[in-house]
Amino acid sequence: MDGRWDGRRAAVRTTIDELVTSGREAGVQVAAYLDGEPIVQEQAGLADPATGRPMTADTPIHAVSTGKGLTATVVHVLAERGLLDYDLRIADVWPEFARRGKDGITLRHALTHTAGLPALPADTTPEDFTDWDRMCAVIADAEPLWAPGARLAYHAWTFGWIVGEVVRRVTGRPISQVLAEEVAGPLGVAGELFLGVPEADLPRLARLEDAGLTAMIAYASAHLPNFDAVAPPGVRPDATIGSRPDVLRADVPAVGTMSARAVARMYAALLGPVDGVRLISPERLEEVSAVAVRAEDWVFGQEVTFGLGYAVDGDGSFGTAGSGGSLAFAYPALGLTVAAVRNRLGAGDGDPMEGLRTLVRDAVVAGSA
């Protein structure tokens, strides 16, 4: 890697070492690309504290909703090839979806969390998540809470089946396979970027620990009236469900499993070529990363901003973050991508992964000034 970034890599390394040695983190990975080249790749701590297995650069970590960025990227790669259009009526490729007045919902609505289908049945179980056809039938039979586009509501789980079934209907392949063949494979990170995780790769995954996320979810359940509608008690996005081998093996494309270097590389290939691989055109990049909707979210009661499948932040970045603290974002104006993932899922801890993102971003800004 470029020697000009040695000092900043040392600062990242010192920061994550302190996080681990202080006990705030078990294992951490941080990676960044600038203009298609890696400038940061650091890791510290343990992938599995129970066995002492170290965290390595290629250790996949279940990063919860950071996986939505993988799912959105698959859509844009297919759109680039003319296989999908954002204004596609979902019922045109998935006829059963039209039931209960859903015939006007488009792929764009799904990507921007404005489809009106954020809720799951209250008795949904992790076992249900392992049955793709069952979950798609639940979605197809659901009645929208409002007209498409009328409100923004974070589709915490349903995002994955709505978008994923569109991909399956169009390509004939599960979305995890499309990700592997059309994104991860060409980028050389097939063993580090997953929706459904192959059985053979499960032993390589980092072991998740809870460090406040469960308590935060319980608080949200008690104080946010719509929270349990989108994340019923049996399927809360925490370390418990994220550690189940059956759920990890299944396609649940609202969540994903990845290394920091793999997801940073994926976002870099959205911005431009990475070792000759560019996932989408500059024109499509501008479209998918632009603000598509800004509104108060029905679930959390706060204003949020989305592009097409990604959150759009005020610092000019787009990407996704997951419950417990992992994140991956791209800065088109800087040519920069940053990912920080961890296996101790925290909340109310000062958001150290966001601190790492800011550390790298500010260094690039200072270097280009």
Q: Among 191, 261, 206, which residue's Cα sits nearest to residue 30?
A: 261
- Judged on CB neighbours under 10 Å (0-12, 13-18, 19+), 81 is exposed
Task: Catalogue the active-site residues.
Answer: 65
> Which 3-state string (H, E, C) describes 32-51?
EEECCEEEEEEEEEEEECCC
- CA 335, 10, 56, 54 torsion: positive or negative? negative
Contact 65, 238 (CB under 8 A): no
Q: Per residue, what are the HEC states of 103-170?
A: CCCEHHHHHCCCCCCCCCCCCCCHHHHCCHHHHHHHHHHCCCCCCCCCCECCCCCHHHHHHHHHHHHH
Angle at CA of residue 274, ends 33 and 333, nearest 5°: 50
At residue 28, what is the residue type?
V
DSSP H helical ranges for 189-323: 213-223, 227-230, 245-249, 260-271, 282-289
Contact present, 62 and 55 (Cβ < 8 Å): no
CA dihedral of 190, 265, 313, 116, whole degrees rounded to 10? -20
- How far apart are the C-alpha atoms of 63 and 113, rounded to whole Å? 20
CA distances from 3 to 38, 39, 340, 366 (A): 11, 9, 21, 16
